[in-house]
A = this chain, B = another copy of it.
């Protein structure tokens, strides 16, 4: 995709949209995506894939819901977490954050099942970084 390194801060400076991931790299049949987020995403689940989160800036909370009930994890800047496949989750960030995700190419931002999608959530498999 790119024969030169990409500076993530520069890349994050190229767009303002929230909950609208940009693809910064392809690794085999996986994408590396970055997103700016603020407020709440939507409850959703990916049936067939885990989803990796790294917080680049700010703080992200991920609410998780499975057979054992509901809980949430908080990721400060510089921390990582994997949402296991099939686990309902809702990322949120009251104060805003920038995040990096790894997931298979074609993975939808709202998963395979989800609550009603609010207008501020972009339904996408990731946009090209321009």
Contact = CB atoms under 8 A, between A and B. Distances in A.
Contact of A79 (B5, B52, B78): B5
B26 A80 contact: no
A95 interface: no
Given A27-B50, A49-B28, A80 B4 contact: no
A52 B32 contact: yes
B6 A26 contact: no
Nearest to A103: B27
A96 to B, nearest CB: 18
Contacts of A8: 54, 78-80
Given A2-B82, A8-B78, 18 more contacts: A4-B81, A5-B80, A6-B79, A6-B81, A8-B54, A9-B78, A24-B80, A25-B52, A25-B80, A25-B82, A26-B50, A26-B82, A28-B50, A30-B30, A30-B102, A32-B80, A54-B100, A102-B102
Interface of A: 1-9, 24-28, 30, 32, 49-52, 54, 56, 73-76, 78-82, 85, 100, 102-104
